[in-house]
């Protein structure tokens, strides 16, 4: 089992690093490392494809193989819906815009080494983190059932249903939050103001809350096929890492540093949870 897990993860990592190299090439041509943000959700679709490929191999090698595992289908389908929606949203929003202030700042700080550091610290590092976060998909593909005789118990269906519900809540917050923010920014009267309406009145970052929620939902879906506590813990590493990154690394902390000293945002912080 562990041999297949390592092979599947290595294959997914290789595919992602090739994908990230392609994204980096586009970023160099456009002189815009913000391409990394656009490529991010599409990378998870690539990992899902790799996982389905491995599961298909597993099915082909199994005698009396039945219908594909319903929970794995849900996982791959939900990740594809999330990844493709966010990819097209970010592409339409950011493709013709100047480089995001974070990447522009790094480019200036890195100076002559910006080319190699962008490749390694932005695109390659993002690829490694992406595979770790997406590991529940790979682990689910390795452990998914191959025959209807390998039935699931009622409590496994319950866990799966809760996972789908959490994913739907997260998708709602992210998709609706993005739509409401886009509409808010289109009104010239809102220039320089802080978005704090709709789902933004419940969380200062509905897109981050939504993304974290969706991955915890995927985690629960993946736990249906888990074997033991260690397997469950391994599947929790991905969403836990993503949540930490969104809260402390490239998400809330970095974004809110941009609004330091903004009185309206400080009032928003006092009234609304991160």
- pLDDT digit string (tens) for 140-166? 988 887 665 567 888 889 999 999 999
Give the model's confidence band at 8: pLDDT under 50 very low, under 70 low, under 90 confident, else very high.
confident
Tens digits of residue pLDDT in 116-139: 999 999 999 999 999 999 999 999
Share of the chain above pLDDT 90, in %: 58
In sequence order, which residues have a C-beta less than 8 Å from that of residue 147 and are 6 or more positions away? Answer: 62, 64, 65, 66
What's the rounded Cα separation, in Å, for the pair 268 and 263? Answer: 9
pLDDT: is 64 or 16 the higher one? 16
Within the chain, what is the greatest distance between any pair of CA atoms? 66
pTM: 0.90
Tens digits of residue pLDDT in 241-269: 999 999 988 888 888 888 888 888 889 98
Residue 192 burial (10 A CB sphere; 0-12, 13-18, 19+): exposed
In sequence order, which residues have a C-beta less than 8 Å from that of residue 227 and are 6 or more positions away? Answer: 143
CB 206 within 8 A of CB 165: no
């Amino acid at each position: 089992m562990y041999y297949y897990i390592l092979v599947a993860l290595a294959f997914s990592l290789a595919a992602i690093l090739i994908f990230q190299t392609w994204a980096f090439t586009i970023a160099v041509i456009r002189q815009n490392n913000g391409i990394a943000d656009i490529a991010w959700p599409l990378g998870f679709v690539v990992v899902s494809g790799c996982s389905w490929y491995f599961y298909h191999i597993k099915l082909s090698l199994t005698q009396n193989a039945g219908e594909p595992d319903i929970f794995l289908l849900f996982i791959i389908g939900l990740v594809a819906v999330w990844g493709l929606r966010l990819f097209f949203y970010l592409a339409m929003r950011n493709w013709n815009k100047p480089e995001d202030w974070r990447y522009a700042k790094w480019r200036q700080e890195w100076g002559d080494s910006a080319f190699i550091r962008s490749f390694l610290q932005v695109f390659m590092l993002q690829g490694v983190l992406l595979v770790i976060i997406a590991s529940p998909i790979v682990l689910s593909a390795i452990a998914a059932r191959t025959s209807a005789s390998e039935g699931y118990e009622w409590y496994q269906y319950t866990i799966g249903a809760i996972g789908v519900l959490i994913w739907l809540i997260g998708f709602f917050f992210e998709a609706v939050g993005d739509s409401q923010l886009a509409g808010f920014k289109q009104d010239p009267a809102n220039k320089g103001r802080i978005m704090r309406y709709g789902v933004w009145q419940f969380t200062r970052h509905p897109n981050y809350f939504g993304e974290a929620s969706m991955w915890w939902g995927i985690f629960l879906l993946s736990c249906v096929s888990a074997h033991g506590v260690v397997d469950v813990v391994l599947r929790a590493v991905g969403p836990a890492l993503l949540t930490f990154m969104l809260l402390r690394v490239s998400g809330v902390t970095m974004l809110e540093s941009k609004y330091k000293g903004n009185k309206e945002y400080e009032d928003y912080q006092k009234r609304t949870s991160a």
